[in-house]
Chains A and B, each alone.
Chain A
Amino acid sequence: MNPTQVYSETILIVEDDPQIRNFIAYALKGAGFKCLTAGTGQDALSKMTESPVDLMLLDLGLPDVDGMQVISRVREWSEVPIIVVSARDQDREKASALDSGADDYLTKPFSATELMARIRVAFRHLHQNANGQQRPPRYDVRGLTIELDKRQVHIDGQEIHVTPNEYRLLSLLAKNAGKVMTTDTIIREIWGPGYGDDTQALRALMASLRRKIEKKPGSPAFIKTEVGVGYRLMDI
């Protein structure tokens, strides 16, 4: 967290527990964001229409409406980044929130550092899209480079040969670097919508890709596993 950096964005915090709401609001204000708060889903939806909001932090366990409904209602008219907050054992909820349009998730209990990291990733994506500019056709992090226009992968300057499916997987993650991609989304993107939810093929593909790009596939530095949800390619 860099306290001197001042953001102009407004973040809407949707959380029914006042203690958590206060802590998040305090952390965000400390980092220079403007904050709006809502304790219910209805309140959140009306706050969204009243004033411009640049990012929404949404707790999935709201007292009045299902968090998933809030996401789909907001997605009807807005592309505002949504970060959902949920418990560790709510894998299915996390995955379906991501599939229905949420951008990222945080697992309770989380620290202010994790919170700020997620918000930064979401804004980075937003700015890249807003500038009308595509993501740079290149991923370059800690020695791993992916030339998305040339379909080339290098590690420390050395070209790596990947199979067409491995490349599809890697480029999908690279285009969404920093974000978690759900297993369902990845399977649909690589094998098409008729493939069902057979995750075994994806896991095997991921394991063989990791053997090519990771020094230690057992503690990966680039592609992290989000157990029960999906995969995330680190963007820093």
Chain B
Amino acid sequence: MKPEKITPTPSDVKQTRLFHSLSQTPDLLRDTLIICAGLTGATAMGWGFRAVGIPEANTVVIYIFAVVLISRFTRGYCFGIAASVLATCAFNFFFTVPYYSLSVDDLSYFITFFIMTLTAIIICTMNARIRQIAVLKQEADAERYRSKLLRSISHDLRTPLTGIKGTSEMVRDMTEPEDPRYAMMSGVCDDVDYLQGLIENVLSLTRLQDGQILLHKQPEVAEEIIGSAVERVAKRAETRDIDVKTPEEILFVPMEAHLIEQVLINLLDNAISHTAPTGRITVTLSRDSGFARFTITDDGPGIPAEDLPHIFEMFYTSASRSSDARKGIGLGLAICQAIVERHGGEISARNAGPDTPCSGACFTFILPLEEAKNGEKS
């Protein structure tokens, strides 16, 4: 299982700076200033000690203390380690005979230098490690909290829907089809199904837009996901014929299965609502060099030319349809695009030409067959 980090939010960027401090100029300046201030302070105190005759062993301790402080207030390992080395050099330069030179008369000072540098490096490494663990824990807590929140929202939305769906279907089945109440209850049932689809979409969208939530991609067999999606829309498809064409080759595609299933369900639902009850919908899976290509075509009227450039925009609904027709709030296709792009793929829409077997709309999306290597945490 490879969780993929999705588009970083500002807080994300702030956290990753901890590990890439050198690439951030303002932080570099700040941390350099901290080093200068810390070491200057330690040197000043050392001079003070020498002036009042305190032995230089104490100055060593002062320098180590300065390094501890520096590693506490700078980010990452680099500054702490740099400070350790600089502190040893400064001690050598200012406080060992001969003064104001890096050369040493008494060779036993090398033991002091060595132990001083080592102690300082160990302390600042430990400091950095502790901070790193704290950040990781904070990230994990945030992720847990968000998943929990999303889960309770979805539970609270689905529970009443289950009651309404079950009850309305039962009431419908208890009335005779000639009874006007049958038609009314059928309307309720259709609305519930529509609402159910909408909730699934909104939940997927919330999940995708929350940059802190990781996608759990796993290699899935593409034809299984298609089969499952077709199965789930079968009831709504009624008499429409859904043909599935898959290649002989088994295509493993890294994906979060339910999200890609959602894309297919949305595209199939779209095709169903734009075709006659005798319509024909074709789902084709094929390999296209490094990608798996999913194509959904129908024999409906196709997409009006003026809608084609905007069809994946969120909240875009076609102007050409009558105002009382259910057209939704234009989320379905926008979510398809968001999901496909989060998987490193592309989605497009066009009208099938007269030479193709289906004359209506044609939606195509591609997903990479290999996990992208860059920019991902495993």
Contact assessment for B244 and A23 in the assembled complex, using a CB-CB cutoff below 8 Å: no
Which of B40-48, B73-81, B225-233, B364-372 contacts the other chain? Answer: B225-233
Partner of A228, one of B244, B252, B258: B258
Q: Complex Cα distance A75/B220, Å?
A: 33
CB-CB < 8 A to A88: which residues of B? 158, 200, 258
Interface residues of A in 143-200 (CB under 8 A from B): 199-200
Interface residues of A in 65-110 (CB under 8 A from B): 87-89, 91, 108-110
Bin the interface of chain B by size: 35 or more
Contact assessment for B231 and A111 in the assembled complex, using a CB-CB cutoff below 8 Å: no
Asked if A124 is at the interface of the complex by the 8 Å CB criterion, the answer is: no
Asked if B285 is at the interface of the complex by the 8 Å CB criterion, the answer is: yes
B contact patch SS: helix
Contact assessment for B224 and A227 in the assembled complex, using a CB-CB cutoff below 8 Å: yes
Asked if B190 is at the interface of the complex by the 8 Å CB criterion, the answer is: no
Asked if A39 is at the interface of the complex by the 8 Å CB criterion, the answer is: no
Which of B164-172, B315-323, B333-341, B353-361 contacts the other chain? Answer: B164-172
Asked if A50 is at the interface of the complex by the 8 Å CB criterion, the answer is: no
Partner of B252, one of A19, A61, A203, A210: A203
Which of A4-12, A40-48, A129-137, A215-223 contacts the other chain? Answer: A215-223
**Closest partner residue, chain B, to A113 (CB atom):** B169
Partner of B159, one of A108, A111, A204, A210: A108
Interface size on A, residues (CB 8 A): 41
Given the known inter-chain contacts A203-B224, A208-B250, A225-B227, please indicate yes or no for A112 contacting B258, CB distance below 8 A.
no
Contact assessment for B166 and A27 in the assembled complex, using a CB-CB cutoff below 8 Å: yes
Asked if B300 is at the interface of the complex by the 8 Å CB criterion, the answer is: no
Asked if B160 is at the interface of the complex by the 8 Å CB criterion, the answer is: yes
Separation in Å of the B174 CB from the closest CB of chain A? 8
Separation in Å of the A83 CB from the closest CB of chain B? 14
CB-CB < 8 A to B164: which residues of A? 19, 109
Contact assessment for B226 and A219 in the assembled complex, using a CB-CB cutoff below 8 Å: yes
Asked if B245 is at the interface of the complex by the 8 Å CB criterion, the answer is: yes
CB-CB < 8 A to B15: which residues of A? none
Given the known inter-chain contacts A109-B161, A200-B219, please indicate yes or no for A27 contacting B170, CB distance below 8 A.
yes
CB-CB < 8 A to B161: which residues of A? 108-109
Partner of A89, one of B167, B196, B258: B258
Contact assessment for B169 and A111 in the assembled complex, using a CB-CB cutoff below 8 Å: yes
CB-CB < 8 A to B231: which residues of A? 219, 224
Contact assessment for A200 and B162 in the assembled complex, using a CB-CB cutoff below 8 Å: no
Asked if B299 is at the interface of the complex by the 8 Å CB criterion, the answer is: no
CB-CB < 8 A to A113: which residues of B? 169
Asked if B248 is at the interface of the complex by the 8 Å CB criterion, the answer is: yes
CB-CB < 8 A to A208: which residues of B? 250
CB-CB < 8 A to A203: which residues of B? 219-221, 224, 250, 252
Contact assessment for B173 and A112 in the assembled complex, using a CB-CB cutoff below 8 Å: yes
Cross-chain pair count, CB within 8 angstroms: 118
Interface residues of B in 138-184 (CB under 8 A from A): 151, 154-155, 158-167, 169-170, 173
Contact assessment for B162 and A20 in the assembled complex, using a CB-CB cutoff below 8 Å: yes
Separation in Å of the A180 CB from the closest CB of chain B? 12
Asked if B351 is at the interface of the complex by the 8 Å CB criterion, the answer is: no
**Closest partner residue, chain B, to A27 (CB atom):** B170
CB-CB < 8 A to B225: which residues of A? 225, 227
Q: Complex Cα distance A26/B261, Å?
A: 33
Contact assessment for B227 and A224 in the assembled complex, using a CB-CB cutoff below 8 Å: yes
Separation in Å of the B157 CB from the closest CB of chain A? 10
Interface residues of A in 10-38 (CB under 8 A from B): 17, 19-20, 22-24, 26-27, 30
Q: Complex Cα distance A206/B223, Å?
A: 11
Given the known inter-chain contacts A88-B200, A211-B248, A217-B246, please indicate yes or no for A112 contacting B170, CB distance below 8 A.
yes
Q: Complex Cα distance A218/B223, Å?
A: 5
CB-CB < 8 A to A115: which residues of B? 166
Q: Complex Cα distance A48/B205, Å?
A: 41
Q: Complex Cα distance A73/B276, Å?
A: 52
Separation in Å of the B247 CB from the closest CB of chain A? 9
Asked if A117 is at the interface of the complex by the 8 Å CB criterion, the answer is: no
Contact assessment for A109 and B228 in the assembled complex, using a CB-CB cutoff below 8 Å: no
Contact assessment for A206 and B258 in the assembled complex, using a CB-CB cutoff below 8 Å: no
Interface string of B266-285 (1 = CB under 8 A from A): 00000000000000000101
Contact assessment for A206 and B221 in the assembled complex, using a CB-CB cutoff below 8 Å: yes
Given the known inter-chain contacts A20-B159, A87-B158, A225-B227, please indicate yes or no for A207 contacting B166, CB distance below 8 A.
no
Contact assessment for B224 and A19 in the assembled complex, using a CB-CB cutoff below 8 Å: no
Separation in Å of the A204 CB from the closest CB of chain B? 6
Q: Complex Cα distance A123/B258, Å?
A: 30
Given the known inter-chain contacts A88-B258, A108-B158, A217-B246, please indicate yes or no for A207 contacting B170, CB distance below 8 A.
no
Residue numbers of A with Cβ under 8 A of B are 1, 17, 19-20, 22-24, 26-27, 30, 61, 87-89, 91, 108-113, 115, 199-200, 203-204, 206-208, 210-211, 216-220, 224-228
Residue contacts A-B, CB under 8 angstroms, 24 given: A17-B160, A19-B167, A20-B163, A20-B166, A23-B163, A23-B170, A24-B166, A26-B167, A27-B166, A30-B170, A108-B159, A110-B166, A112-B166, A199-B218, A203-B252, A207-B224, A218-B223, A218-B244, A218-B245, A218-B285, A220-B227, A224-B227, A225-B228, A227-B225
Residue numbers of B with Cβ under 8 A of A are 151, 154-155, 158-167, 169-170, 173, 192, 196, 200, 203, 218-221, 223-228, 230-231, 242, 244-246, 248, 250, 252, 257-258, 261, 283, 285
Q: Which 10 A-B pairs have the closest CB atoms?
A: A19-B163, A218-B244, A218-B246, A109-B162, A23-B166, A225-B224, A219-B244, A207-B250, A109-B165, A108-B162
